[in-house]
Structure 1
Amino acid sequence: MTAQTEPVAQQRPYPVLKRECDVVIVGAGIVGMLLGLLLKEQGLSVQLYERQSAVYPLPRAVVLSEDNVRLLEIMGLRDVLGGFVVCDDFPWKDAQGNEIACISNALSSNELSEFYPNYLISQPLVENAISIRCELKNLQLYRNWNFTKFDDRDPTTGYRKVYFERPPLSTSQIFFQNQVEVKCRWLIGADGANSSVRRAAGITITDFGFNHEWLVVDTLPDDYEASSKNLPRAQYCDPERPTTAIASGPRRHRWEFMRLPGESDKELLNPARLWSLLKPFGVNPEKVEIERAVIYQFQSKLVDSFWEDGIGLVGDAGLSSEKLMQSYTSERRSQADAIIKLAIHLGQPLCITDKKIAVKTHGDMLQKYLDSDSEHTKTTPPNLIGEKAMLLDKHYGGSLELRAPFRHRDGVVGIRRHVEWVILHSAACKIPAESVKNLERHQVRMEPLSKEVDVTGKYHAWISKILGTTEQTKQQELWCILRPDMYVYGMGNGPETFRDALLELESDLKV
């Protein structure tokens, strides 16, 4: 018996799939999948839709910061960290090879955890590991679906409909269904810098005006362990060809060359031209494979709002209580703004192509570098600061939390076992029975702050240092409330301030 199919042009209309959930996430990269897992852990029904038919196999992002690594650990993905490469200190060099600045990535520079400030990764490897976790956790992840539009939110129910369609991969491919209509409470765009969700929502962008195009070449050296010792890792502030060289995860090395005026895509992507750019660094086609070469436009842009009427943007695209999400823009935009401005500050001396300006700028940097007491540039992102932020300004809220050994019932690990609210309180700061019931409903974990659980004494020392508490009696009355995103909600000492903080927390959580 043989099977017969109708020609594509003659196929009858397909039925429309109709689904319903709490949260729809568009984009199943690292950010989208992690967010989906987090929300599912909080008891929400989540559906992810991704336009790629599988994890994209080629390199893209190559750096993860310490707070990202902390999140992977909390979610049980610590094994992924074994595939990360630790960054060296990263120097800026002028055209003569002089070191004119340097970013430290030393473990000793991080007082809040045992992690390095930054790690180098292969994005496909990380995405594959997280994708497997999504399957094991039964997260509803649907691939090869394109987001098309959404309806307005129903003011009565709070729900809206989101629409997707599935394009055929070839002219001969036949689908049994090629449209999905999803009824949901919230829509999250995690679909990259060119977010279709952002465009559909009409969310505006601020352009900081620092935009350059770069040829990015990802390579696979044959004997990476031997060659990596000789491969450079630096920013070359050479006006004739601004260049970046950096490790990019296991067995990989990345090279970035700024496009100069008049250079076309065809010219830059010509194999002979690629090898000529790599040759001065001792890279040749006999020992190194080019995995990918692409021209990227690096842009200094930031969305003006991360949350509008039940629509959120995360990751390059720019859920606890609704109140927390409504404060998200005011909390995080100032931090994202500062990070982008820091990137501009670091990128400006690299991107100078005028030789006279380069000599003056780089000469000033070298002199300042030689005169400085510190050998490194500090590039730590600012604390979480913003108006209407869900934290206690008067009680030191807003800084990244400490990660230190903490004794749980089944052993000594980090303070967090899940993404959740955590209250640490000394014996003098008791939680009323009614508050315990209310907070437990919102999965707030309450832990005693004692020497038995704070096995290294680091939590007592950390809180005391921030508060400026030196008296032994005061150290016995410490308390600290930690947000799910690993930032401090508030801290203090004494039962009175603790009671006030609990009242504010219960109000913020609407318990």
Structure 2
Amino acid sequence: MKIAAEHDIYDVVVVGLGPVGATLANLLGMSGAKVLVLEREALAYHLPRAVHFDDEVMRVFQWIGIAEKLLPKIRINPGMKFVSGDGELLLDWPRPQEESQHAWHPSWRFHQPDLEASLRQALETYPNVTIMNRCEAFMIDGLQDEVSIRFENMSNGEIKHVRASYLVGCDGARSLVRRFIESPMKDFGFHERWLVVDAVLKTNKPSLGDHSIQYCDATRPATYIRGPGKRRRWEISVNPSENSVDIAKEESVWNLLAPWLTPDEAEIERSAVYTFHSLVAKTWSKERLFIAGDAAHQTPPFMGQGMCAGIRDVANLAWKLVACLRHGHNPTLLDTYQTERKPNAEAFIETAIRLGHLINTANGKPALEAAIKSDDGHREMTSLYPPLGQGLGDGVHCGKQFSQPKNHLGQRMDDLYPYECLFVVENAMENEVKQLTGIDVASTSEFPSLKYYLDGLDAKGVLLRPDRYILGTGNTVDEIVELISLLPYDIKNGEGIK
């Protein structure tokens, strides 16, 4: 492992090597950026925290080359059931068991230490990425042309100073980087204590089921989550009068788990009380400093979207940082990170809060059905795909993520056209668009199902960003080629990082 030398200069410094920081470092590393990652802990945390990710996030893991490696260690989530305190089924939310538009199943359960190990192993393949564990930043100066960072190596007390073009804080809810940005928090008003219990079964117990279950009991709301292998999680609401330390003790935990488990059937791996928050930073960047993940937003876990939102953050930010490293610093481009991501993150938080209130309600089935009733009176829950907020691009489809088809060999589009801009066009336009732009083109001849997706957009071609969101659409070669102007830099020049 390389060691950062005094006064080293990096393209990007990433503070924090959790799943969000490690994903960002991978995206930057595969794009050729010189990256330093500072992580205050010696090793990855050995206990699970996040337990769910979706198809959009799996698509990001595909880009960095770990999706297939994860498959033996994760499991497809069949869905969620809402039941009353008496065990009555109030609502069934099945998750599709076929692949979604992103060419992956919509909902996955995982063990976070397995994910972190895969992310770190991938980083080891990049000589341009340096990881320093047991190192904590304490002074950050955001200058006009660079960032100055001082950090302590907590193994030996040594103080070091490095510089970078950009710094991204993926350093969690108590983010140091957020403090240097001086960002206040927007409070959505949901703050509740819940006991989180992770257990490992000693033997199979099919009666627990494979579905996640929300127990909508006003006296003691709870959530059951089936993890991979023999891992199971319960999240149990803590009443205001209860002591956080006492309720997490083993005897109390087994009393609470009595409806489902006995000590003969499982071992408790971890029990702790957490306060679920609903917060969003009002400012996500300042000059060349940025925050992502829990540093930028915190959500109740009822949608399973906490980590997912952070992965979406860095998928949005990484390619914009790379574009600035290739083409020059561009505040207009970088400002779109917050304007695009913040409304998207808020949409998930607001939905999670609504679900949390429903789980806590004494009104049971009527409240659930009212909450999910659509304009035509039909009641169902579906996957949430909110568009980006205002930012890059133009047209009614701007800010929507484009689908990922497979070719006749079963190869996914993003495996053949990695993390760069991409035109998607009908076959007749393929050669001309490529000759006029020099940008990769995926066509309906290679991916026949693209015709279905293009027809759905009422277009013959689209320009996709590296994160596969739509910049714009067109119906003639001239209109499609002109979409390049929607990017605030000359994509045909400056391909290498300077």
Q: TM bucket by the smaller chain?
A: 0.7 to 0.9
Paired position in structure 2 for 1:218: 198
**2: distance between equivalents of 1:125 and 1:307?**
31
Structure 1 residue 448, shift from structure 2 partner: 4.8
Shift of the 459–266 alpha-carbon distance from structure 1 to 2, 3 Å rule, reads same
Paired position in structure 2 for 1:480: 462
**1: distance between equivalents of 2:159 and 2:201?**
44
SS at match of 2:413: coil
Contact 1:56 1:124 in 2 (8 A): yes
Contact 1:481 1:491 in 2 (8 A): yes
Contact 1:103 1:379 in 2 (8 A): no
Structure 1 residue 71, shift from structure 2 partner: 1.1
Amino acid at match of 2:403: L
Structure 1 residue 103, shift from structure 2 partner: 3.0
**2: distance between equivalents of 1:366 and 1:420?**
43
**1: distance between equivalents of 2:477 and 2:107?**
38
Paired position in structure 2 for 1:96: 86
**2: distance between equivalents of 1:232 and 1:280?**
17
Paired position in structure 2 for 1:297: 275
Shift of the 114–43 alpha-carbon distance from structure 1 to 2, 3 Å rule, reads closer
Contact 2:444 2:450 in 1 (8 A): no
Structure 2 unaligned segments of length 5 or more: list them.
297-320, 325-329, 494-498
Amino acid at match of 1:309: E
Q: CA RMSD in A?
A: 2.6
Structure 1 residue 194, shift from structure 2 partner: 1.8
Amino acid at match of 1:325: L
Contact 1:112 1:403 in 2 (8 A): yes
Paired position in structure 1 for 2:170: 190
Paired position in structure 2 for 1:341: 350
SS at match of 1:275: helix
Residues 422-437 of structure 1: matches in 2 within 5 Å?
422-426=422-426, 427-428=428-429, 430-431=432-433, 433=435, 435-436=437-438
Paired position in structure 2 for 1:449: 443
**2: distance between equivalents of 1:201 and 1:510?**
33
Amino acid at match of 2:218: P
**2: distance between equivalents of 1:288 and 1:43?**
46
SS at match of 1:35: helix
Paired position in structure 2 for 1:355: none
Deviations along 1:11-67, whole A, 9 cap, x unmatched?
A: xxxx99432211000000111111111112222110001111011101101111111
Structure 1 residue 114, shift from structure 2 partner: 3.4
Q: TM-score, normalised by structure 1?
A: 0.82
Structure 1 residue 164, shift from structure 2 partner: 1.2
SS at match of 1:18: coil
Q: Does 1:350 align with 2:359?
A: yes
* Fraction of identical pairs, as percent: 25
**2: distance between equivalents of 1:375 and 1:204?**
38
**1: distance between equivalents of 2:434 and 2:58?**
35
Contact 1:55 1:124 in 2 (8 A): yes
Paired position in structure 2 for 1:21: 10
SS at match of 2:457: helix
Shift of the 234–508 alpha-carbon distance from structure 1 to 2, 3 Å rule, reads farther
Paired position in structure 1 for 2:253: 274
> Which has the higher Rg, Structure 1 or Structure 2?
1
Shift of the 506–210 alpha-carbon distance from structure 1 to 2, 3 Å rule, reads closer
Amino acid at match of 2:200: L
Using the TM superposition, name which of 369-378 and 335-344 deviates more: 369-378
Amino acid at match of 2:89: E
Contact 1:100 1:369 in 2 (8 A): no
Deviations along 1:64-99, whole A, 9 cap, x unmatched?
A: 111110111122112112211211220112223222
Deviations along 1:328-385, whole A, 9 cap, x unmatched?
A: 1111111111111011111111134xxxxx13x6444358889997563124131123
Structure 1 residue 294, shift from structure 2 partner: 1.1
Paired position in structure 2 for 1:11: none
Shift of the 288–162 alpha-carbon distance from structure 1 to 2, 3 Å rule, reads same
Amino acid at match of 1:297: T
**2: distance between equivalents of 1:362 and 1:479?**
45
Structure 1 unaligned segments of length 5 or more: list them.
1-14, 169-174, 353-357, 437-444, 470-477
Paired position in structure 2 for 1:390: 392
Amino acid at match of 2:33: L
Using the TM superposition, name which of 319-328 and 288-297 deviates more: 319-328
**2: distance between equivalents of 1:480 and 1:369?**
33
SS at match of 2:43: coil
Paired position in structure 2 for 1:244: 223
Q: Does 1:107 align with 2:85?
A: no
Amino acid at match of 2:235: E
Shift of the 370–298 alpha-carbon distance from structure 1 to 2, 3 Å rule, reads closer
SS at match of 2:429: coil
Paired position in structure 2 for 1:4: none
Match of 2:188 among 200, 208, 212: 208
Shift of the 432–370 alpha-carbon distance from structure 1 to 2, 3 Å rule, reads closer
Deviations along 1:277-331, whole A, 9 cap, x unmatched?
A: 00111x1111201011111111010111222211111122222333432211111
Q: Does 1:32 align with 2:24?
A: no
Shift of the 370–398 alpha-carbon distance from structure 1 to 2, 3 Å rule, reads closer
Amino acid at match of 1:461: Y
Contact 1:121 1:250 in 2 (8 A): no
Residues 6-17 of structure 1: matches in 2 within 5 Å?
17=6
Paired position in structure 1 for 2:139: 149
Amino acid at match of 2:368: M
**1: distance between equivalents of 2:373 and 2:12?**
53
Deviations along 1:479-500, whole A, 9 cap, x unmatched?
A: 1211111211222211232132
Contact 1:339 1:381 in 2 (8 A): no
**1: distance between equivalents of 2:187 and 2:282?**
10
Deviations along 1:242-271, whole A, 9 cap, x unmatched?
A: 101011333210001111011112220221
Deviations along 1:126-168, whole A, 9 cap, x unmatched?
A: 1011111111323211101112121131x3xx11211111335
Shift of the 374–222 alpha-carbon distance from structure 1 to 2, 3 Å rule, reads farther
